[in-house]
A and B are shown apart, each in its own frame.
Chain A
Amino acid sequence: MSEDNKKIRIGLPRALHFHKYHTFWEDFFKQMGFEVVVSPETNQQILKRGVNLAVDESCLSLKIYLGHIDWLRDKVDYIFLPRIVSLHKEEKNCTKFMSLNDIVRNTFSKVKLIEYTIDVEKFRFEFFEIFRTVFYVKHSPFKIFRAYYLAKRKQMAYTQQRIKGQQEKIKNKNPDRPMILIVSHPYTTYDSLIGRPIIKFLESQGVDLLYADVVDPHKSKELSKNISGDLYWTYNKELLGSIEIFKPYIDGIIFLMVFPCGPDALVVNLCQHKIKNIPLAVITLDELSGEAGLKTRLESFVDILKLRKKKHG
Chain B
Amino acid sequence: MDNIQNSKSKISFPHMGNYFYAFKPLANLLADEVIIPPPITKKTIELGTKHSPESACIPFKYNLGNFIEALDAGANVLVQSGGGCRFGYYGEVQEVILKNLGYKFEFLKFVNDFSIPKIAKYIRKNNPKLSRFTIYKTILLVYLRIRAIDEVESYLRKNIGFEKNPGEFERNLKIFLRELERTYVISDLKKLKRKYLKILNNIPIDKPADPIRVAVVGELYVLMEPFSNFNIEKELGRRGIEVHRFCNVSSILHDCFTFDLYMRKFLKYAYPYLKYHIGAHGTESVGLTNKLMKEGFDGVIHIKPFGCMPEVNAMSALYRIGRENKFPILYFSFDSQTSETGVKTRIEAFYDMLIMKKKKTYDKK
Instruction: Give the interface of A toward B (CB within 8 A).
Output: 54-55, 57-58, 83, 94-96, 98-99, 101-103, 105-107, 117, 228-232, 259-263, 265-270, 273-274, 284
> How many angstroms from the CA of A270 to the CA of B86 in the assembled complex?
13
Q: By the criterion CB–CB under 8 Å, are B109 and A95 in contact? A: no
* B275 to A, closest residue via Cβ: A102
**Contacts A95-B85, A106-B320: A270 and B92 contacting too (C-beta < 8 A)?**
yes
B299 adjacent to chain A (CB < 8 Å):
no
Given contacts A57-B333, A58-B312, contact A99 B282 (CB under 8 A): yes
Within 8 Å by CB of A106, from B273, B280, B307, lies B273
Task: Verify A101–B280 contact, CB threshold 8 A.
Answer: no
Set A83, A107, A274: member contacting B96, Cβ < 8 A: A274
CA of A93 to CA of B353, assembled, Å:
40
- On B, residues with C-beta under 8 Å from A are 52-57, 60, 85-86, 88-93, 96-97, 100, 109, 111-112, 273-280, 282, 306-307, 309-310, 312-317, 319-320, 333
CB neighbours (8 Å) of A270 from chain B are 92-93, 96
Q: Is the CB of B274 within 8 A of A102?
A: yes
Residue of A nearest to B53 (CB): A269
4 residue pairs, one from A and one from B, having the closest CB atoms: A95-B279, A99-B278, A269-B53, A99-B313
Question: Which of B52, B60, B96, B278 has a CB less than 8 Å from the CB of A95?
Answer: B278
Provide 25 A-B residue pairs closer than 8 Å at the C-beta atoms, listed in order of the A residue: A54-B316, A55-B315, A58-B312, A95-B278, A95-B282, A96-B309, A98-B277, A99-B278, A99-B313, A99-B314, A101-B275, A101-B276, A102-B276, A102-B313, A102-B317, A106-B320, A231-B92, A232-B88, A232-B112, A260-B306, A263-B86, A263-B89, A265-B86, A265-B307, A284-B55
Nearest Cβ on chain B to A51's Cβ, whole angstroms: 14
Q: Across the interface, which residues of B come within 8 angstroms of A95, CB to CB?
A: 85, 278-280, 282, 309-310, 313
Q: Tell which of B53, B97, B309 touches A268, judged by Cβ atoms closer than 8 Å.
A: B53
For A266, list chain B residues within 8 Å (CB): 53, 56, 60, 86, 89-90, 93
Q: Give me 14 other A-B pairs in contact (C-beta within 8 A), A102-B278, A260-B55, A266-B60 excluded.
A: A57-B312, A95-B282, A98-B313, A102-B275, A103-B313, A106-B316, A106-B317, A107-B316, A230-B111, A260-B307, A266-B90, A266-B93, A269-B97, A270-B93
Contacts of B85 in A (CB 8 A): 95, 262
User: Could you say which of B111, B112, B276, B314 contacts A117, with CB atoms under 8 Å apart?
Assistant: B276
Closest residue of chain A to B100, judged by CB?
A: A273
Q: A57 CB to closest chain B CB, in angstroms?
A: 5
Supposing A99-B313, A106-B317 touch, asked if A273 and B276 sit within 8 A by C-beta, the answer is no
Q: Tell me the smallest distance from the CB of A255 to a CB of chain B, in Å.
A: 12
Min CB–CB distance B100 → chain A (angstroms): 5
- Contact residues in B for A57 (Cβ distance below 8 Å): 306-307, 312, 315, 333
Q: How far is the CB of A79 from chain B (nearest CB, A)?
A: 15
Report Cα–Cα, A267/B90, bound state, in Å.
Answer: 10
Which residues does chain B contribute within 8 Å of A263, judged by CB atoms?
A: 86, 89
A303 to B273, CA, bound (A): 52
Q: How far is the CA of A261 from the CA of B316 in the complex (A)?
A: 17
CB distance from B58 to the nearest CB of A (A): 12
Highest count of chain A CB atoms <10 Å: which of B55, B85, B273, B315 = B55
Q: For residue B316, give the distance in angstroms from its CB to the closest CB of chain A.
A: 4
Q: Is the CB of A232 within 8 A of B89?
A: yes
Which residue in chain A gives the minimum CB-CB distance to B323?
Answer: A106
A-side binding surface: helix, strand, loop or mixed? helix
In the assembled complex, the Cα of A266 lies from the Cα of B52 at a distance in Å of 9
Contact indicator A98/B53 (Cβ below 8 Å): no
Q: Which residue of B has the minimal Cβ distance to A105? A: B275
Chain B hits for A105, CB < 8 A: 275
CA of A251 to CA of B309 in the docked complex: distance in angstroms?
Answer: 34
Which A residues lie within 8 Å of B88 (CB)? 230, 232
| Complex Cα–Cα for A101 and B316 (A) | 11
User: In the assembled complex, how far is the CB of residue A82 from the closest CB belonging to chain B, in whole angstroms?
Assistant: 12
- Which residues of B lie under 8 Å from residue A259 when comparing CB positions? 55
* Known A-B contacts A98-B276, A99-B282; A229 and B53 likewise in contact (beta carbons under 8 Å): no
Question: Can you name the residue of chain B whose Cβ is closest to the Cβ of A107?
Answer: B316
Chain B residue at minimal CB-CB distance from A272 = B53
In the complex, the chain A residue whose C-beta lies closest to that of B272 is: A105
Q: How far apart are the CA atoms of A260 and B56 in the complex, in Å?
A: 9
In the bound complex, what is the Cα–Cα distance between A228 and B93 (angstroms)? Answer: 9
Instruction: Please measure, in the bound complex, the distance between the C-alpha atom of A117 and the C-alpha atom of B57, giving whole angstroms.
Output: 28
A10 to B: closest C-beta gap in Å: 20
Please determine whether A83 and B276 come into contact, CB atoms closer than 8 angstroms: yes
Inter-chain contacts of A55 with B (CB < 8 A) = 312, 315-316, 319
**With a CB–CB cut-off of 8 A, which chain A residues contact B333?**
57
Least CB distance from B84 to A in Å reads 8
| Inter-chain contact B309/A94, CB cutoff 8 Å | yes
Q: In chain A, what residue has the closest Cβ to B60?
A: A266
A230 close to B279 (CB less than 8 A):
no
B56 adjacent to A265 (CB under 8 Å) = yes
Instruction: Closest B residue to A259 by CB, please name it.
Output: B55
Residues of A within 8 A of B111 (CB): 230
Residues of chain A within 8 A of B97, CB atoms compared: 269, 273
Query: Shortest Cβ distance from B57 into chain A, in angstroms?
Result: 8
- Using known A-B contacts A95-B85, A102-B317, A106-B319, determine if residue A230 contacts B309 with beta carbons closer than 8 Å: no
